[in-house]
Structure 1
């Protein structure tokens, strides 16, 4: 949806927080949010949402594979998340002969559930504030490096004190740019198995075209199950493991909802930067994000060429491609939104007000904050562009594998015979893991394309890249010929060549290997900072922390929530509509229906194809108990919750805490939301739980899964 909506953007740290704004800590809900939530329709107590001593909603919300959110929906450890969150595991389990990614998969019983190599879920146990303890150890006379070292020493103690002998994972996180600290206690389960997934033509319906757009018609879900030992404790995969009996699982509501109904989302939002200064926004829009977009598109164009030719290559690279494509569109959307809404100008206004406040008596420590911050951004614009070009280059597997494995081999060669025998199995496993699914023609072509882009667009490139680029220009050569030659003469060209080298390893051969030299040069450049840059970073970190501290003092009567950083948060709002849109057949533009899905159907199209059976069910209107009371089958719906990346797969809950859907996307108009919140633009796109259950039951015929659920009818 490309409509231009003009409105005043509100900064999170100056004007009052909007009703639907904020990613809130669960331990602060009673103090900061409970009355507002009650007025909007919440029927639960704060303790029913978050309790340390009793089971509560938080016990059903898990972090899925460290990058998404999921929820427990049965008393047998059944996990619901997005299709795109389970995408890499589904692709990994697929082959050209058993293509679950394309065709879907449904385990007929627990014995048929499939175990990916690596997949975990993380349960949140409790959290606490350790700000006073940590901040009592630091002072303003410390350099940032000294401050960080002091804090890290104390963090290590706190984590050790709370892990109960290794039973729990403990993480201490910084908030408000280092002005507050909290620790989080988690329990990780690593035996997680695939239960079911719709075909990609359902789970990814609309593809890149519909990504970040409304109206949507995507069945973006997949099902997994958590396994534990017989006592319910985390355990590595074993046939003897049993389905987890969770402390709490969500009730699934199929009664539906109406416009303006209360909706809350609990999940693990990845990253927001709502305190970001104007200079940072300008740097992203003009330097960092354009480099990201260009480098992403470079990789995508090459990858697609090979993926379209070979189904196994398509499966092997499906997850990588999808991730790159998602962020490519995200970053371009950020450029457009931040520019269109003049976000930097809005931030400048607040910074001028802050500067005026800082000039008053008693506020002198904040007087130089904004000038220092502005100086930092002015002098790091080109560095920002460089780091994004190089960062995307290093995501190319053969740009990073030689460095990673080369250093591991170098370490191996320096050990005595006994230590080598101990290290070798781990090294062999890492070699197998890194080369699995690697398609050499694609890798060579992507690496050459990225090197060409980096060498021509970035400033102060890695020395070896500059040297090769100069030679290529003089000799009318190209990066393809250089890369082909480097691979041909490298032990890292293939797993077989590397294994042959390891049979009789030689330190000189490793040291002079062309891919190891290139990879090392790139990684060294990525990590390099001049003394001037180090000082700029030191001054900036100190000033940024003071800016946030000062702005909170300047507006001390306001409620604050910290930026997202992959810790569990709650956001609340309503089911809410957009203005009428002729592309949506629904009576109100807050939901879509299967009728609209069929209307988008394009036979054979990679993005808009549909399974024949789904069309037949639509034509027969065979929706079972999952139809709305008005007779249509709901597909997706909108809320105004405040979410970001990492919230994918988060449960959408009604006032009773019952599951009504799961979040999977945002809207392109609110793409600036990671930096600045606008309650008029912010929308969350969700899969209606009734569509999920319809697909499981009527489409897949997996009624045994429905039987596991606790349904509110």
Structure 2
């Protein structure tokens, strides 16, 4: 599975219904092994009392300093020379970018003999969290007395100022103000950033994703979903004394485990009205569109070997995106699960009503959110098609829109620009636009034509914005013209970013001209969404958060926000409907499961190495840790602070993990360091990496 930020879980409807029926929800202080805890509010004593561990603040600091945030994924430093452990599916975009028709590293793997051969991953960054500062009062105060779009603008400006004050123009830092508890708290997270990240090792795709889609979100698993990157600075590997010690031995049943990573997004604190709109409108729309686009790209992939190669990662992403929404919808349509959510919300509201002072202070934010959902239903489709999902995933479209909007903002006095468009922001955009990652025109054309056709379908032919976009042409014809943009060339992107709006208009580039012609309409829709949805939602959510704090105290973990978290648990299988699933799989099981036919064909290197492999080595294992999409590549750590694996999946019972956690059934799936060590030694012959990891035997 991909636990990258935008993806999550799925499986059969039968399993989904039963799993969701028993799932818990975080309205009260966390129980069992539930919780994706921030590092400044981790329940140290609770964990030590339950598992007999002796973790302390120093232990937490050591883990935090070794944890790494990638683009959409998690990782960790595992040597003193910048070596980073993550999942293969977290680097597959890089591997594909580095591949050509002649050298397909996705299919064959990337195993450089020396550091000098390690290749830069275009656009990848590695960030380490260094400081956390509470800025709640500043952010909440910025919107005081304001409503609608003015409220959103003021908040955004203050957040931008906080970030600029802390990091300035220092390219080695990232400063991000993050909302917690749905707006109940805001914190400034400061990161040390590395912009030169290189691919140090990646197995072949078939080894990393053995079993393919049928095994996805299931266990037992036999996947070597692991890869290594390396952080560089000034052309040299970064010195990383704060790293996790590599433990080449598998954990034992019942052993305590910790997962440090960046879970992308959960919705456990949403109100019933918000969940119902997700269930009734947003998720079904996304499911329909992603499944159709997947079909179009799958058909394209059958046209030849090169088409198959360049569409592999987009299809891989779409399949996981489809599954997260499928799993979420299953949870939200389960009557027992929704009844539990409804009862817990009713309890909180009753306790607020019984406290006159609290009731007077916060009013009825649940009723406010119900009204906001009515507005959101009306605005969602135009907002989605014209702004939030504009371009349909096209990289070239995203480049054009970024350039056009930067040009418009740069033409304004600095004080009047929107947040995020200071000169330093535009300079950072220029660095991102300089990426030399290859762009597949065929995939781009499918994405663009699909987006245009669905916009026409959802907003109707008579919609003024649709008429302006399509004119007298059809989506396919427009898409074919748009992909002939000169933006495919990094040098032209740099030139375009320096142009004024007038110069862009006279550039003659079809994609830039298209975005210029339609961007005002898109921004108008965004302004409507800010005024009618974002602003009132933020106001009401703050009050709901205040209610939770007042009723349940501060022993709560916030919803996931792709910020560094730590979960705790133990190595443990599960029993469901009388069937017990053990906690471990072993490397010998790969050969028993392999059939020789896709997707159960073992990678050729594994076939060739069968006689050398110790088949008793633990391959993958499961634990009770609470994770979600974005945790891909997270180090799984033992009580000594040693890395014992990389989390890469969840079992079928964690389908509704966005909305709740069930300690009896939810499991994290991890590739063990024992298996990675065995593969490096006896499959891939990588003594250089083994020495760096401290493995000498």
Calculate the TM-score normalised by the size of structure 2: 0.84
Higher relative contact order (CA 8 A, sep 6+): 2
Give the Å deviation of 1:697.
1.2
CA distance in 1, matches of 2:343, 2:570: 31
Q: Distance in 2 between matches of 1:468 and 1:134?
A: 38
The residue number in structure 2 matching 1:642 is 626
Determine helix, strand or coil for the equivalent of 2:282.
helix
Q: Is the 8 A contact 1:13 1:552 kept in 2?
A: no
Query: Structure 1, residues 112-143: CA drift from partner, whole Å, max 9, x if none?
Result: 222233322112222233335655x4576443
Q: 1:223: how far off?
A: 0.8
The equivalent of 2:585 in structure 1 is 592
Distance 2:215 2:271 in 1: 31
Match status 1:44 vs 2:55: yes
Counting only pairs closer than 5 Å after superposition, residues 357-436 of structure 1 correspond to structure 2 as 357-360=351-354, 361-362=356-357, 363-389=359-385, 391-394=388-391, 395-397=393-395, 399-405=397-403, 433=435
Q: Matches of 1:410 and 1:249 in 2, distance apart?
A: 44
Question: Cα distance, 1:81 vs. partner?
Answer: 0.5
Q: What CA deviation, in whole Å up to 9, does each residue of 1:658-677 have, x standing for no partner? A: 11111011233322212223
Q: CA shift at 1:85, angstroms?
A: 0.8
**2:617 is equivalent to residue 633 of structure 1:** yes
Is contact 2:75-2:84 (8 Å) kept?
yes
Name whichever of 267-276 and 137-146 sits farther off: 137-146
Name 1:197's counterpart in structure 2.
202
- Relative to 1, partners in 2 of residues 1:348 and 1:655: Cα closer, same or farther, differing over 3 Å? same
Alignment pair present for 1:257 and 2:257? no
The whole-number CA distance in structure 2 between the counterparts of 1:294 and 1:451 is: 15
| Deviation readout 1:492-526 (Å, 9 max, x if unpaired) | 69769989x99x99969749976555444655444
Aligned-residue CA RMSD (Å) = 3.8
Mapped partners of 1:497, 1:560: distance in 2? 49
Compared with structure 1, are the counterparts of its residues 309 and 37 closer, same or farther at alpha carbon in structure 2 (3 Å cutoff)? Answer: farther
Q: Which residue of the partner structure matches residue 34 of structure 2?
A: 21
Which residue of 94, 107, 110 maps to 1:105? 110
Distance 2:657 2:365 in 1: 25
> What residue number does 2:561 align with?
565
Matched, 1:302 2:296: yes
Residue matched to 1:555 = 552
Q: How much has 1:655 moved relative to structure 2? A: 1.6
> Aligned pair in 2 of structure 1 residues 695, 555: CA closer, same or farther (>3 Å)?
same
3-state SS of the aligned residue for 2:344? helix
| Residue in structure 1 matched with residue 691 of structure 2 by the alignment | 707
Q: Label 1:617 to 1:148 Cα distance change in 2 as closer, same or farther (>3 A).
A: same
Q: Which residue of 2 aligns with 1:453?
A: 454
Cα shift readout 1:602-657 (whole Å, capped 9, x = no counterpart): 4352x332223312433x2x335xx6xxxx23221111111112211011111211
Which runs of 5 or more residues in structure 2 are unaligned? 1-10, 413-425
Number of residue pairs aligned between Structure 1 and Structure 2: 660
**Equivalent-residue separation in structure 2 for 1:613 and 1:533 (angstroms):** 53
Measured at CA, do residues 487 and 115 of structure 1 come closer, stay the same or move farther in structure 2, by a change above 3 Å? closer
Q: C-alpha deviations, 1:414-464, integer Å up to 9, x for none?
A: 9xxxxxxxxx99999988758x63343443344223322232234699634
Q: Indicate how the Cα distance of structure 1 residues 371 and 639 shifts in structure 2: closer, same or farther if over 3 A, else same.
A: same
In structure 2, relative to structure 1, the CA distance for the partners of 1:75 and 1:291 (3 Å cut) is same
Deviations 1:315-338 (A, max 9, x none): 444333322222122111211222
Structure 1 residue 244: Cα displacement: 2.3
Q: Which has the larger radius of gyration?
A: 1
1:527-560 CA distances to partner (integer Å, 9 max, x unpaired)?
334769724543332112111211221223x621
C-alpha distance in structure 2 between counterparts of 1:37 and 1:386, whole Å:
51
Residue in 2 that maps onto 1:278: 272
**Other structure's SS at 2:655 match:** helix
Aligned pairs for 1:303-318 within 5 A: 303-318=297-312
Distance 1:536 1:304, change over 3 A: closer
Alignment of 1:117-128 (within 5 A): 117-128=122-133
Counterpart in the other structure of 1:534: 531
Distance (whole Å) between structure 1 residues aligned to residue 577 and residue 250 of structure 2: 22
Shift of residue 397, structure 1, vs aligned partner: 3.8
Equivalent residue of 2:178, what SS?
strand
Deviates more, 1:589-598 or 1:270-279: 589-598
Question: Which range moves more in the overlay, 98-107 or 344-353?
Answer: 344-353
Seen in structure 2, the aligned counterparts of structure 1 residues 510 and 571 have a Cα distance that, compared at 3 Å, is same
- What are the equivalent positions in structure 2 for 1:446-595 lying under 5 Å apart? 446-458=447-459, 463-466=464-467, 479-481=475-477, 483-484=479-480, 486-487=481-482, 510=506, 515-516=511-512, 518-520=514-516, 523-529=519-525, 534-556=531-553, 559-579=555-575, 589-595=582-588
> Structure 2 CA distance, aligned partners of 1:381 and 1:323?
27
* Cα pair distance change 1:292/1:37, threshold 3 Å: farther
The range that moved more, 164-173 or 359-368, is 164-173
Secondary structure, aligned partner of 1:13: coil
TM-score if structure 1 supplies the norm length?
Answer: 0.82
The reply to whether residue 33 of structure 1 matches residue 26 of structure 2 is: no
Q: Is the 8 A contact 2:311 2:443 kept in 1?
A: no
Instruction: Answer yes or no: is the 8 Å Cα contact 2:126–2:194 preserved in 1.
Output: yes
Per-residue CA distance 1:46-73 (angstroms, 9 max, x = gap): 31222xxxxx222211112x32111111
- Deviation of the 1:96 alpha carbon: 2.0
Structure 2 CA distance for aligned equivalents of residues 492 and 75 of structure 1: 43
